[in-house]
Structure 1
């Protein structure tokens, strides 16, 4: 199973954006050494807790300080942007870093209603057909003639030696069939906390049609994962993320604090019930390498996972890297 990183560039409490980006650069370079296949940046607007609002720029910068790992967006929220501009951004990136650039095609806003209007230059977003827009983007990415008035303009640069690799993003299973029909990879964000029938992934494979981007179906699933030498250490390191999950469930966002600050914090019975439910449904996974590997192997069999994407905003740099090292060893990458 291939491994990848899903990063929201979660800000630690008191951390500047500059420090977060410098820390992220060091982390991407270390992840490359661990032979992870790809590293994706999310798109979130007006979020005080995350610094990944322009994932294309982050991917571009990181491609210049690495040599082999694939870089991309998980995702690009296409409702906000012109298909031409999206395609030209990624064709340019692909020319700069051949065979190393991905685009995660997201149909959600990645923001609230005010941000949607701001991104649409003060006008209500028309919410045109997102799948039609994806078809136009795919035509542009592969130098094909687009439909309608888009066909009057070519997306530049043309004739790149490799193509951007497009993935359909999903968190509820609704887009799986379309991903198969279009011949795209299917990337499912399980850490979003939405239950999906395993049949969705079978449906994707059954309906897959080979395309200029993918010869065969490819399923990627993202989890929030914390791995440590002992269960006690995993519980300790995961506590800030658990608190963030609870805050999100109440409509709030909080910055990532040190686990040491929370060592004496006691979850209420109601909070524990919420968190245990998320662990039981495997939206979040934590524990020793043996425990985590057992869970992931079960998930791989259940969902037919080809690639595991890991979201783990652990507070300490060394502790975060060690968690990803455990996963690399688990799947024989190092």
Structure 2
């Protein structure tokens, strides 16, 4: 029996210690095909820049290849960091993807830079259009995808090509109440990054639902939560696999994350008492364990947040463990 709450995947294309970006992207291609065959609903890829840990810096390029590797699963960006770019060019890129893979393309957008200030400045290359313009950029992008008039003066006659029968599905991504409010105002489906900000509770979607105004492609609120997940045959194995991300997170807090370490590297690391506290607190906010334990936690999120879908983020140093996690979770969820 199918679970009414659909499962999807966010892939950040993690670079593992001892391996390179080529291996990370190759793994993304293989896992997208796997998730397509298993029956996952969506497969989204992320945008990060100047990162030794996360290889995906150009979702639109990667999506072009993912479409050729898959048949049915919806493909999308999780997400395009819109303040860096021209909404017109983003509309063109995703119309092109929609032309290639009709009715399968999602365009998730976010406000965060996804990098350090110096790299962000290099991407914008002198442009003074920054994050403060994000709300109007969202509305302009929405108009350019739907062949309606943008809100920014001077863009009234702009039309994006190629022409498509249905526009890509536009999504708002975020980790704060600001993003949920803008999603409601623009009439967009909303994906909240629980893996970034697990301290915010169901009120984030309550705000979204209460203030939602129907948009051109979304008549009613549509709520998705993205959760960090590792699923294994035993709880002990799942916790062991999670040690890789535990150490990476500690290094991230210290400002030098680097590639994702192996479980052995994590075992050899001398943690301080405070670092152990941080790790134990973080684990409470993740869904890690056996298929039954993970599904129980995800079901509680689905109930408490009143979700339409769940999206999972899984990172392990071992590709086979990551593959197994997707397989175990999907078969038990349904």
Equivalent in 56, 62, 73 of residue 69 of structure 1: 73
Residue 188 of structure 1 corresponds to which residue in structure 2? 192
| Equivalence map 1:120-269=2 (5 Å) | 120-122=124-126, 126-147=130-151, 148-158=153-163, 160-265=164-269, 267-269=271-273
Task: Provide the TM-score with structure 1 as the length reference.
Answer: 0.94
Distance in 1, matches of 2:288 and 2:271, equals: 17
Equivalent in 321, 324, 331 of residue 322 of structure 1: 324
Moved more, 241-250 or 271-280: 271-280
Decide whether the 8 Å contact of 1:172 with 1:194 is kept in 2. no
For residue 150 of structure 1, report the CA deviation from its aligned partner. Answer: 1.2
Query: What SS does the corresponding residue of 1:275 show, helix, strand or coil?
Result: helix
Cα deviation, 1:43-102, whole Å, max 9, x if unaligned, reads 111111111000111111101121111111111011011111011111111111111101
Equivalent in 101, 104, 108 of residue 108 of structure 2: 104
For residue 125 of structure 1, report the CA deviation from its aligned partner. Answer: 5.0
Moved more, 243-252 or 116-125: 116-125
Distance in 2, matches of 1:149 and 1:54, equals: 28
Residues 1:274 and 2:274 aligned together: no
Residue 89 of structure 1 corresponds to which residue in structure 2? 93
Decide whether the 8 Å contact of 1:103 with 1:164 is kept in 2. yes
Moved more, 174-183 or 184-193: 174-183
Distance in 2, matches of 1:27 and 1:187, equals: 21
Decide whether the 8 Å contact of 1:117 with 1:124 is kept in 2. no
Decide whether the 8 Å contact of 1:235 with 1:286 is kept in 2. yes
For residue 119 of structure 1, report the CA deviation from its aligned partner. Answer: 0.9
For structure 1, the 5+ residue unaligned runs are: none
Decide whether the 8 Å contact of 1:185 with 1:218 is kept in 2. yes
Decide whether the 8 Å contact of 1:210 with 1:216 is kept in 2. yes
Task: Provide the TM-score with structure 2 as the length reference.
Answer: 0.94
- Cα RMSD (Å) of the superposition? 1.6
